[in-house]
Structure 1
Amino acid sequence: MTFYNRGDEINALRSAHESPGYAFFVIYGRRRVGKTGLIKEFCADQPHIYFLAAQEAEDRQREKFVEQIAEHFGDRVPRIDGWDDAFAYLGEKLDTEDVVVAIDEFPYLVEENDSVPSYVQGFVDEHLHETDSMLILCGSSVSTMESEVLGHESPLYGRRTGQLDVKPFSFTQAREVISYDIEEAICSYAITGGTPMYLTLFDYDQSLAENVQSQILSPAAILYNEPEFLLRTELRNPARYMSILEAVALGHTTPNEISGATGINSGPLSKYLQTLRRLRLIDREVPVTASGTKSKRSRYRVADEFLRFWFGYVEPNRSSIEEAPDVVYQGTIAPDLSDHVAATFEDICQEVVWELVRRGDVEPYSEVGRWWYGENEIDIVGLAPNDDRILFAECKWTSEPVGRSLIRDLREKVANVRWGPSDRKEHFAVFSKSGFVDGIDRDLGSKWSLISLEEINHVLS
């Protein structure tokens, strides 16, 4: 499979490997984001030992690990009785050759023996330190990696020389994969999200409708049951988590709304929400002007576009999909797709704001996010507290050009945003899929920016 993007991550690994002395890198992130592909791409032109841990007995895992070491060095497989002996054997071999050693899905080893991090600590302190070799520990269980490898109480704390938190692709990064035009590309990204595996399953020589029906709505397709697989991999009893994700995907975003939709009381619900946040399956948002820890105006959203699509359209329509997937697409998904894409479009417009800041085309903002209070909402608000400057922006994914009524509504709403002094500097922007009515720009001053789909494409290309 073609390797896309991740140039910064590859460069970070190469820089660490080429620097004098040893390197100990930790790579973690949600499942399917391309961590294994990143490691293999980096190791392709390096002497390396790649070991993929599995959910199997500790003894068998240790045997396989030692076999990998022996195979690389052309050695007979020695008799090894414990992890301390296994890492001592690896240390002896690294005295003879500098090698990249990558242990993928490290949490599976910890699951079978929680003393493994201590054995790795001994290996780093007693053997790796004296070499120019590199150790990579990688894992998809973010909570395990953060507690057992990166956490203060871990034996490995403070020993890493670098770390990579691998995230899904932004829309800008995903454009390297998605070969549709800008409008269709945004729609496609709103369905697959930035997970590399999902992106590469689509055939961009086919229409979006054909891809959705063949890669998601077909019971034989990988993505048809993908969310269930992800949850079962991470959780022993995923049913309640499934119901929470479905509730959030369908628009129940506050704790009270989620509780009402799922029937889960607020006490247990709080723990479920924390677990889903730890797994990076949902995000908690507060208005950009509010304190993240103190605000009571929190909302939850499904953190992945594909999961939001699946729980919004696939899970509620399973029976119909089994019988007539084309009818589900034409009758249920296609008529509602614009509403689904609109939320993704807001995130993409935030990417545009940050890209314009990076280029120096607009003045910088320290924070950019959504704002709401009561019935009032603004899609994007940017804050520059050192300059008492604030940006207000709306993002419209509609089939009609933006007219003067939206401009008027935005002007009225900004008075409700309590931030900064009364003489704060206000700037405005409107992003529109279908452009703007003729002459609207003549009614606006220099503090307004009107940004079309073509301009978005230009900025993010």
Structure 2
Amino acid sequence: MLRQTLNYFLTLAKQSETMALIGRKDEMAELERYYNQDNAVFVAVYGRRRVGKTFLVNEFFKNKFDYKVTGISSAEYERKQLTDMQLSNFNLALNHYSGKIFPAPKDWMQAFRQLIEYLETGANKKRQVVFIDEIPWMDTPYSGFLTAFEWFWNSWGSACRNLMLIVCGSATSWIVNNVINSKGGLHNRLSGKIFLSPFNLKESELFYESRGIVWDRYEQIQSYMIFGGVPYYLSLLHKEESLSQNVDRLFFSKNGGLVNEFNNLFNALFDNAKEYIRTIELLDRHKSGLTRNEIAVKLNSTSGGGLTKMIDNLEQCGFIAGISNGGRVNDKIYKIIDFYCLFYLKFVKNNDFLEDEYWSKITNTPLHNSWCGFSFERVCFSHLKQIKKALGISGILTKTYAWRSRVSSPGAQIDMLIDREDRVVDVCEMKYSSVEYAITKSENMKLRNRIEAFRLESRTRKAIHLVMISPYGVLKNMYSGAVTNQVTLDALFE
């Protein structure tokens, strides 16, 4: 109990630390709108772990809540012991905010009855804000938490006009399955949902500026390929170090801050973390992506409910994305989109060198450069909005997908197609280069063959435009005339 009490107040102290909020204007506006409604409000805030969900809510309310509790990670406790700890933690927070001493609850029904008893003392307030953070961790097996929580909202909370209930959790799949898409007592009870994504390139740039980190945009893109705009990871960067030095310290030094993050991440989110890691590692070995059926075959699994749930959970948590190939839904191509995971699996997991300054030493080697080329494609996919703006098609209905030839051998593939309603298809080629990208004779032939294969197999009658996305554009030569449009580094920062 002493340890628990200490952890609770350390958590409060940590959350009271202030840091300028970067971006998140739309999310703040949403919270403002819900707060100002003249009725009971139930909001779910969800997104990838470390993305800043708790910080957003804390910052908006300036850490002033009528009640706030944070679930305890299951990593250190057995099931029964963990349920007791969750209940004790809930009670500790209730005593803190109420200024009273409530008896330790025997179960979750009693715990929520006590919360109601306390909140009823504030019935005359304009608004009472209740924030339950890391709510998935509270729902331990056979504890009755979800049933009691449903009862709390349905029997009392939904009728309390001044109540604003906010739930939050990194286990995005739990939030989606049990709250947003609930088929039980919370079905259609949610007032709103706020999904928090990692920073984009522009928001990351603002974060660097707020921390006094001076890197040009080329270095910032390389940083994005590693940290992916996850605020917590960016907060670990030291302004007096170069990007390479930061990476060496965080990944390739003894007790590096992000060396063990991968396993911690999956163990905190999923009960059967090993199976999820196995799926991620499979997709990492197949960089061009796999369909659901291909994943099933390579895992010696079936494409039934268990695999479907796993893929859906990984997608909802922001680790992978199913990219349409322009055909049937079941033919989606699944790829890893989490930059940290991609970097960890490529360079950290099986690194046998164990030497200082590893990243600094391999920078600009073929290994490093090939990784940059691959990762740049993922950066582009995460900035489709900026690419469409640069192409002047923000106001045009589009469908973006990847394409694989079913006929040509070797199989032609186009990683990004933007199919536009104005009768144009943009074939996007993404090339990472520190100078203007030069299209060679052989590259020109590959591009032509790829486009022709797509034209014949898709039977499209739309105009096909070749779009080159490269940091510094395309070098003008005898082959550059085939390029209809270009998107450069600065456009991705819009």
TM-score range, shorter chain: 0.7 to 0.9
Of residues 396, 410, 416, the one that matches 1:380 is 416
Residue 21 of structure 1 corresponds to 39
Residue 325 of structure 1 corresponds to 356
Which residues of 2 match residues 58-69 of structure 1 at below 5 A?
58-69=83-94
Distance 2:66 2:189 in 1: 21
Of residues 394, 411, 431, the one that matches 1:396 is 431
Distance 1:221 1:442 in 2: 45
* Residue 374 (structure 2) pairs with residue 343 (structure 1): yes
Look up the SS of the partner of 1:206 in the other structure. Answer: coil
Residue 130 of structure 2 corresponds to 101
Distance 1:389 1:18 in 2: 44
* Residue 153 (structure 2) pairs with residue 116 (structure 1): no
User: Does the 8 A contact of 1:193 with 1:306 survive in 2?
Assistant: yes
Residue 487 of structure 2 corresponds to 451
Distance 1:357 1:333 in 2: 30
Distance 2:82 2:492 in 1: 51
User: Does the 8 A contact of 1:402 with 1:434 survive in 2?
Assistant: no
Which 10-residue stretch deviates more, 344-353 or 201-210? 344-353
Of residues 261, 286, 307, the one that matches 2:341 is 307
Which residues of 2 match residues 121-136 of structure 1 at below 5 A?
121-128=150-157, 129-136=159-166
Distance 1:105 1:14 in 2: 22
Residue 144 of structure 1 corresponds to 174
Gaps of 5+ in 2: 1-18, 75-80, 209-213
TM-score between both structures, scaled by the size of structure 2: 0.79
Which residues of 2 match residues 62-81 of structure 1 at below 5 A?
62-77=87-102, 80-81=105-106
Amino acid at match of 1:133: L
Amino acid at match of 2:42: F
Of residues 313, 320, 323, the one that matches 1:283 is 320
User: Does the 8 A contact of 1:147 with 1:154 survive in 2?
Assistant: no
Which 10-residue stretch deviates more, 9-18 or 114-123? 114-123
Distance 1:210 1:450 in 2: 33
Which residues of 2 match residues 233-248 of structure 1 at below 5 A?
233-236=268-271, 238-239=273-274, 241-248=276-283
User: Does the 8 A contact of 1:441 with 1:450 survive in 2?
Assistant: no
Amino acid at match of 2:219: E
Amino acid at match of 2:423: D
User: Does the 8 A contact of 2:403 with 2:417 survive in 1?
Assistant: yes
Distance 1:459 1:30 in 2: 22
Look up the SS of the partner of 2:139 in the other structure. Answer: helix
Look up the SS of the partner of 2:23 in the other structure. Answer: coil
User: Does the 8 A contact of 1:213 with 1:326 survive in 2?
Assistant: yes
Of residues 222, 232, 254, the one that matches 2:257 is 222
Distance 1:281-1:397 versus aligned 2 partners, 3 A rule: same
Distance 1:127 1:258 in 2: 45
Which 10-residue stretch deviates more, 227-236 or 346-355? 346-355
Coordinate RMSD, CA, aligned: 3.3
Look up the SS of the partner of 1:417 in the other structure. Answer: helix
Distance 2:440 2:191 in 1: 55
Of residues 226, 229, 234, the one that matches 1:194 is 229
Look up the SS of the partner of 1:394 in the other structure. Answer: strand
Which residues of 2 match residues 176-191 of structure 1 at below 5 A?
176-178=206-208, 179-191=214-226
Residue 433 of structure 1 corresponds to 471
Equivalent pairs counted in the alignment come to: 447
- CA shift for structure 1 position 45: 6.4
TM-score between both structures, scaled by the size of structure 1: 0.85
Distance 1:12-1:450 versus aligned 2 partners, 3 A rule: same
